[in-house]
Amino acid sequence: MAAKCFNCKSVIRFDHYVRHDETVVGQTWSCYEPIFCEPCAIHGAIRRNTAYRPKVEQVQDENPGIIPVMFTFTVPNRENIYENYELLTNGWKRQQEAARRGKSSSGRHALIEWNKVLGGISAMEATYGQGGWHIHRHVFALLRPGGYIDPNKHHEEWSRFVGVRAFTNVIKCRGGVYEGLKECLKYPTKFVNRDGEQSLTYEQRKALHSLVKGNVRMVNPFGILRGVKVDMNLDKDDASDLDGEVMQFYARWAYGLGRYEYEFPGEEKRLGYIKHTERKTA
C-alpha cells in the first residue's frame, strides 16, 4: 500500500490549449486509495462536486424557494469501528423508513422532521479520538419551501432512531450551494489534525480501509438528487471550471511548492510531462 500511494501522481501530463487559454490535467496515474492518499481523496471530492452541482442548480430552478442546508449526524464514539458504523447506519435507516411511512397515504403514521427534506447527498467521515472511533454523516440537503427543520425536535427524533442519546445539527448554506457541497463531500477522513500531526495511524487507516472495502458506500445521494452519474476516473480532469484548481493542487503535491509556474510557446496544444524523483510521503 505504501508503494502504491507513494507513486500516486508521480507522472502528470498537463495539456495546454493556447487558443482557448485552458490547461487541463491530460493524464496522470492514481492509486484510487482515498483513505490513505490525500490527492485521490481531494480529487474524488472535486469530481463529485462537478457532477452534483448542475443537478442541484437544475432542481433549484425547477423548485423556487427550496432551502439548501447542511446536516451533521453523530452517534456516541465506540472503540470498535464496526459497532460505531452500525450504530450510525441503523439510525439513518430508521429515519428514512419513518419518513417513508409518514408520507404514505394511509395517514396512520405521523410526519417527522425529515419529511421536510426533498433530497440530498450523504457522506460519511471517520475520525478517531477520545472514546474511540467517531464515524458521522455530513449531509447536503434541499428542504421544501417554508419547511425549515425544528432542531430540538429533530435532535429528539434522531436519538430515538439511534437508540441512545445522539446529536444532530443543521445550518443553512450561507456561502451558496457550491460551498455546501464542498463541505459535505470534502474527504472520507482528515489527513492532519489542527496541530499538523497525522490524524490517524497507519493501523487505524487499515481498519477504516477494511470497513470501506466491505461494500460500504461513503457517499449516498437520496431523494431528488438520486441518479446523478459521477465519473470517478482520477487519471484525467477535463472539467473546464476546475482545471486550474486541480492543476495547481497536483503540482504542489508533486513538488511541495506553493505554486506552479509555466510558460508555453504558441503551439495549438503543448504537452508537458512532469516526473519527480524525490518526495516526502503523505
Residues 6+ apart with CB under 8 A from 58: none
* DSSP-derived secondary structure for 106-119: T--S---GGGGEEE
| Domain annotation covers residue 194 | yes
pLDDT at 249: 59
| Domain annotation covers residue 44 | no
Q: Same structural domain for residues 10 and 69?
A: no
Evaluate if residue 216 carries a pLDDT over 80: no
pLDDT at 237: 56
Winning range, highest mean pLDDT, from 111-115, 127-131, 234-238: 111-115
Q: Same structural domain for residues 166 and 97?
A: yes
User: How many CA atoms lie less than 13 Å away from 78 in the CB half-sphere?
Assistant: 15
Q: Same structural domain for residues 162 and 129?
A: yes
pLDDT at 95: 96
The total number of structural domains that make up the chain: 2
**H-type helices in 103-172, by residue range?**
151-162
Q: Same structural domain for residues 208 and 256?
A: no
For 131, other C-beta atoms within 10 Å of its C-beta total 11
Q: Same structural domain for residues 118 and 212?
A: yes
Evaluate if residue 246 carries a pLDDT over 60: no
176: left (phi over 0), alpha (psi -120 to 50) or beta: left
pLDDT in tens, 15-35: 777 776 766 667 777 888 888
Q: Which three cell numbers stand for residue 269?
A: 496544444
What whole-number distance in Å separates Cα of residue 94 and Cα of residue 90? Answer: 6
- Record the pTM: 0.78
> How many degrees, rounded to 5, is the angle at CA 200 between CA 196 and CA 202?
120
Q: Same structural domain for residues 16 and 64?
A: no
CA 196 from centroid of its chain's CA atoms: 21
Q: Same structural domain for residues 62 and 116?
A: yes
CA 59 from centroid of its chain's CA atoms: 20
pLDDT at 91: 96
Q: Same structural domain for residues 114 and 68?
A: yes
Range of the domain at 261: 1-29+235-282
